Chain A
Amino acid sequence: MNLRHKVDGQPAFVLHAYPYSETSLIVEAFSRDFGRVALLARGARRPRSALRGLLLAFQPLELGWAGKGEVQTLMKAEWQGGQPLLGGKALFCGYYLNELLMHLLPREDAHERLFATYAETLRRFADGVRESDLRRFERALLQELGYGLTLEHDAEGAPLDAATHYAYEIERGPVRLQRSGNSALSVSGKTLIDLARDDFSDPRSLAEAKQLMRALITHYTGGKGLETRKIFMELQEL
């Protein structure tokens, strides 16, 4: 993707932005058709810049950029609306989604379906955060990246049984256990079946799915702890 190209009116969200030189910003954006892109927003930190206050995370934007190489130049940004600003707990959960995308999404790799799931999850956050929304997003993310969970059958190819306990082995799938284990990757068949159906009505399934997802994400992020999780814990301690 090193050809010089020009993109216009591309639906996108800002994931993160950091200062560059005296008045500019480097924006990490998640766009619908080009995936994660790094854009240089020239002069975006000048007091009267039209971009100031616009390049806000969690807001649907339309971006235009041009150039070649890893960091391209942002030419245009337009506010799309329809997404209330996130506040409170929803804001911290939004940061969690962004941190996951920053860590796991390779640059310039289109993920249209994941983009839709991300936008939908943010819309749901505006009415308050439900844990099931987080689990759904995590599952969609792993699926899109090719780390999809095996939830149709166990590692041997036998159908899953709701009453049986499994140890979820990364890259292999659920392995039948004789009795319930107590590691993070030990789950009941029911949880796996519920997860496959995106059904989080059973609190036990929801709790087990959380443990399973956490272990998988820790694995795929290379064992690094997530900053947002650390801050979330400090928030819970209050």
Chain B
Amino acid sequence: MSTPSSLESLIEALRCLPGIGPKSAQRMAYHLLQRDRKGAQRLADALQHALAAIRHCERCNTLTEAEICERCTSPKRDATLLCVVETPVDMNMMEQTHAYSGLYYVIMGRVSPLDGIGPRELQLERLLARACDGVVQEVILATNYTNEGEATAHYLSEMLKSRDIHVTRIARGVPVGGELEYVDAGTLAQAVRERRSLAE
């Protein structure tokens, strides 16, 4: 018996998920159709609803249901600070620190020249417009400390330099509670190169 075409297209569709190959996709499709048709319906509804309701916040670019997300409209946040992160997960990590009360801009990616991802693909001019709203005084670049994160930070600092906005970069070095004995050599080497003066 050949596989019905609608089943085949379901298997093909499931393969768009990260880490799902043909085998897993087939298992998932058979499970949904054989054992959990209600679950399948819920999944279909939830997907449809999320697709219709969720969009990018006009101000911070993160995923939200409203035109402008809750955080961006909160009066408790310091609107003079704007922290730039690569992904919504990074924003959640920053929130967990309880060390930052400003607003965010989520790039949803990073500059990666060898993958053909540049400022144009990331629409960084939207970030420029956001940072130049007249309220923001400091932009904190919290992109990753990978080469791509650094490339992104460099581009942004060049872009914002001429706009009379204070641009800062999160610090890097030995982790909190880190013992030199157990810190990796690359981190330690850079921490020595970027050492700071204590005379203040």
Asked if A86 is at the interface (CB within 8 A of a chain B CB), the reply is yes
CB proximity of B17 to chain A, nearest CB, Å:
10
Q: Please provide the chain B residues from 104 to 126 with a CB less than 8 Å away from any CB of chain A in the complex.
A: 111, 113-116, 118-120
Chain A residues within an 8 Å CB radius of B155: 235, 238
Chain A residues within an 8 Å CB radius of B187: 53
**Contact (Cβ within 8 A) A234 B185:** no
Most B-side CB within 10 Å, residue of A79, A91, A228: A91
Interface string of A53-91 (1 = CB under 8 A from B): 110111100000000000000000001010011111101
Q: Please provide the chain B residues from 169 to 188 with a CB less than 8 Å away from any CB of chain A in the complex.
A: 184-187
**Contact (Cβ within 8 A) B150 A87:** yes
Q: Please provide the chain A residues from 2 to 48 with a CB less than 8 Å away from any CB of chain B in the complex.
A: 15-16, 18, 21-22
A234 to B151, CA, bound (A): 13
Interface string of A216-228 (1 = CB under 8 A from B): 0000000000011
Chain B residues within an 8 Å CB radius of A95: 113-114, 147, 151
**Contact (Cβ within 8 A) B154 A79:** no
CB proximity of A83 to chain B, nearest CB, Å:
9
**Contact (Cβ within 8 A) A228 B186:** no
Asked if B4 is at the interface (CB within 8 A of a chain A CB), the reply is no
How many residue pairs at the A-B interface have CB separations less than 8 Å? Answer: 73
A89 to B113, CA, bound (A): 13
Interface string of B132-173 (1 = CB under 8 A from A): 000000000000001100110011001100100000000000
Q: Please provide the chain A residues from 187 to 238 with a CB less than 8 Å away from any CB of chain B in the complex.
A: 227-228, 230-231, 234-235, 238
Q: How large is the interface on B (under 10, 10 to 19, 20 to 34, 35 or more residues)?
A: 20 to 34
**Contact (Cβ within 8 A) A91 B185:** no
Chain A residues within an 8 Å CB radius of B150: 85-87, 91
**Contact (Cβ within 8 A) B113 A99:** yes
Asked if A186 is at the interface (CB within 8 A of a chain B CB), the reply is no
Chain A residues near B (Cβ < 8 Å): 15-16, 18, 21-22, 53-54, 56-59, 79, 81, 84-89, 91-92, 94-96, 98-99, 102, 227-228, 230-231, 234-235, 238
Chain B residues near A (Cβ < 8 Å): 18-19, 111, 113-116, 118-120, 146-147, 150-151, 154-155, 158-159, 162, 184-187, 189-190, 193
Q: A91-B154, A99-B114 are in contact. List 20 more A-B contacts (CB 8 A).
A: A15-B114, A22-B18, A58-B147, A79-B184, A79-B185, A86-B147, A87-B150, A91-B151, A92-B154, A95-B113, A95-B147, A95-B151, A96-B113, A98-B114, A99-B113, A228-B114, A231-B111, A234-B120, A238-B158, A238-B162
